[in-house]
Structure formats: C-alpha cells, structure tokens
Amino acid sequence: MARALGDTGFETLEVACDLTLQTGVIAAAIVMNEMRRLSETARPKRLSALSVPRLQTEPKADCSRYDSLRRLRNDH
C-alpha cells in the first residue's frame, strides 16, 4: 500500500510506526490512521452550557398557516 506522505513527512511516519508497534498489531491501515491523528489540526473547544443562548420565546406551531398556503395553490 504505497501512498504519498503529503505534508506530514518522515518524522510523522516514524512516530506513527512506533505507536503502531506498541499496539502489537502491525498493519498499514493502523499506521495511516496514526499519521492522520498526528497531523490533524486541533478541534475547536466545545461550547459550555452557559455560553449557549437560550430561547426567550418558545416557537409555536401554526397549522392554519400551512392550510392557508395549500389554498393558494394553483390548479392546472
């Protein structure tokens, strides 16, 4: 399974191989997965419950609005 290293480089490959050898299961897919984990960018932090805005007014279902839209349909 020959694939290009891209921007990761041989250092990342070496670390990925070392991590794979530590698991005891040696497979190219595991090495590639370790390389992906080592080279991916950091994920953004999760929002805390305090920083998420809360609804001031609960939404209400207005079924009559949808019924009125159905009456406006043009029949051909």
| Residue 44 in tokens | 């953004």
> Domain residue spans in the chain?
1-40
Contacts of 27 (CB under 8 A, 6+ apart): 20
Query: For 1-53, how does the pLDDT look when each residue is reduced to its tens digit (9 = 90+)?
Result: 456 666 668 888 899 999 999 988 889 999 999 999 888 888 888 777 777 77
Mean pLDDT for 47-64 is 80
Mean pLDDT for 46-68 is 80
Counting every residue written for the chain, the total comes to 76
Collapsed DSSP state (helix, strand, coil) of residue 39: helix
Q: What does each C-alpha distance from 74 to 36, 59, 64, 68, 71 come to in angstroms?
A: 55, 30, 18, 13, 8
pTM of the predicted structure, to 2 decimals: 0.48
Question: Residue 55 has what pLDDT?
Answer: 82
